Amino acid sequence: MKITPYSLGALLLTLLALPAPTPAVADPTPAVTRQRHTAAEITTFLTSFYGHHGPSAYDREQRVSQQLKDKQAHAPESDVLLCAQNEPQDIAIGTATVAQAAGVGWATVTTQWGSDSIDTFTAYVRLDSRPIKLDDVICAG
């Protein structure tokens, strides 16, 4: 095939007639931040996880970090998920707080044991856990 100035000019005109590619618009939100759990998601998760009387057997197996399972294995005399030895009469979850820089969110869990006996502890969730899982529990006293 013989290339002539005319064929090169025709090729150039053809290329110029093609629509320009659209540049990809960069998402200003870093991928890590986009995929992290929000305070509302953590509150919803903990409310579902704890219910009114404590986590189910399924929740204890599937929705708890390995770190917390190990912690429970080292304390068989108590329930580390409830900071107790038995089942509370009721459970309430406070509004979650999120620390993006630390990669963790938490909420206060209040357990009611009798007419006027209550206790509190803090439940922690890693913001990047997929699926969302309870990562740690710190008892108040």
Checking if the pLDDT of 61 tops 50, the result is yes
User: 88 is written with which tokens?
Assistant: 């509370």
Tens-digit pLDDT profile for residues 63-108:
999 999 999 999 999 999 999 989 999 999 999 999 999 999 999 9
In which band, very low, low, confident or very high, does the pLDDT at 137 lie, cut at 50, 70 and 90? very high
What is the distance between the alpha carbons of residues 124 and 128, in angstroms, rounded to a whole number? 12
Nearest to 33 by CA among 129, 100, 97: 100
- Please report the domains of the chain, with CATH numbers, ordered by start residue: 24-139 (3.10.450.50)
Checking if the pLDDT of 126 tops 50, the result is yes
**pLDDT, greater one: 19 or 102:** 102
